Amino acid sequence: MIDKEKIMGLIGLSMKAGKVIFGTETVREAAERKKIKLIIVAEDAADRTILNFKKIAEKQKILFITWGTEQELSKAIGKENKVIIGIKDKNLANAIIKRIYGGDTIG
């Protein structure tokens, strides 16, 4: 079972370390410049938003997941109304993925 509090804690730690970016345009630009290792989109984001970022991630070979709700992602980074975040650090991205999927990591 996924422990959402631990995942939110890892995202919060990433934010405190300055390794999180958020917002549609900021994440899109960072993805296009390959500055992020993981894109997380809230499960309750608009279908179009999820699809658009999934395509960007595939094109740029960036790991993409939908996880949590807008409220959970926003709370984890100490912001409001955030449905998209990008994780810049490979190790933090790996830790988040490992916690969610139980072992899968980025090469």
Closest CA to 72 of 63, 83, 57, 58: 83
State the CATH number of the domain containing residue 33.
3.30.1330.30
Average pLDDT for 18-35: 96
Average pLDDT for 27-56: 97
| 107 within domain boundaries | no
| 106 within domain boundaries | no
| 31 within domain boundaries | yes
Write down the pLDDT at residue 104: 46
CA atoms within 13 A of residue 105's CA, in its CB half-sphere: 9
What is the domain extent for residue 80? 4-101
pLDDT digits (tens, 9 = 90+) for 73-87: 999 999 999 999 999
Tally of structural domains, the chain: 1
